[in-house]
Amino acid sequence: MKTKPTLGFIGLGLMGKPMAKNLLEEGYPMVVHNRSREAVRELVSEGAQEGFSPKDVASRVDIIFTNLPDSPDVELVSLGEEGILEGTTEGLIYVDHSTIKPSLARRIAVEFEARGAFALDAPVSGGDIGAQKGTLTIMVGGPEAALEELLPIFDVVGKKTTHVGDAGSGQIAKAANQVMVAAQMVAMGELMILAKKSGADPARVVQAIQGGAAQCWTLDVKPERLFAGNRQPGFKAYMQEKDLKIVMDTAREYGAPLPSAGLHTQLFGAMLQMGMKDLDNSAVIGVIEDLAHTTLLD
| Residues recognised as catalytic | 174
Among 110, 114, 151, 256, binds a copy of itself (CB under 8 A): 256
For a copy of itself, the closer of residues 40 and 247 by Cβ is 247
- Total residues interacting with a copy of itself, rule: CB under 8 A: 77
Applying CB under 8 A, does 102 fall inside the site for a copy of itself? yes
User: Does the CA dihedral 225-178-131-32 come out positive or negative?
Assistant: negative
151/163 Cα distance (integer angstroms): 10
- Tell me: does residue 113 bind a copy of itself (CB under 8 A): no
- What does the alpha-carbon distance between residue 174 and residue 240 come to, in Å, rounded to a whole number? 11
Nearest CB to a copy of itself, comparing residues 98 and 184:
184
Check binding of 267 to a copy of itself (CB under 8 A).
yes
Provide, rounded to whole angstroms, the least separation between the CB of residue 38 and a copy of itself.
Answer: 29
- Which residue in the set 27, 212, 229, 275 belongs to the binding site for a copy of itself (CB under 8 A)? 212
Give the residue with the Cβ less far from a copy of itself, 43 or 237: 237
User: What's at 287, amino acid-wise?
Assistant: V
CB of 192 to a copy of itself, least distance (A): 8
Give the helix/strand (H/E) hosting 148: helix 147-157
Q: Which of residues 276-295 bind a copy of itself (CB under 8 A)?
A: 288, 291-293
In the shown chain, the binding pattern of residues 45 to 84 toward a copy of itself, with x for contact by CB under 8 A and - for none, equals ----------------------------------------
Confirm or reject binding of residue 14 to a copy of itself (CB under 8 A): no
Among 113, 155, 190, 278, binds a copy of itself (CB under 8 A): 190
On whether the CB atoms of residues 274 and 290 are closer than 8 A, the answer is: yes
> Which CB sits closer to a copy of itself, 110 or 200?
200
Select from 36-44, 52-60, 65-73, 190-198 the region that touches a copy of itself (CB under 8 A): 190-198
- Residues 138 to 157: which contact a copy of itself by CB under 8 A? 139, 141
| Closest C-alpha to 105, from 169, 15, 179, 175 | 169
With 0-12 / 13-18 / 19 or more C-beta atoms within 10 angstroms meaning exposed / middle / buried, residue 86 is middle
Q: How far is the CB of 292 from a copy of itself (least distance, A)?
A: 5
CB contact at 8 A, 149 and 91: no
Distance CA 289, CA 191 (A): 11
Q: Which is nearer to a copy of itself, 34 or 161 (CB)?
A: 161
Per-residue H/E/C for 261-279: HHHHHHHHHHHHHCCCCCC
Nearest residue (CB) to a copy of itself, 151 versus 180: 180
Nearest Cα neighbor of 274 from 264, 263, 283, 287 is 287
Of the candidates 90, 84, 98, 95, the residue with the CA atom closest to the CA atom of residue 14: 98
Query: Are 22 and 134 within 8 A, CB to CB?
Result: yes
Interface stretch with a copy of itself, choices 10-18, 26-34, 58-66, 202-210 (CB under 8 A): 202-210
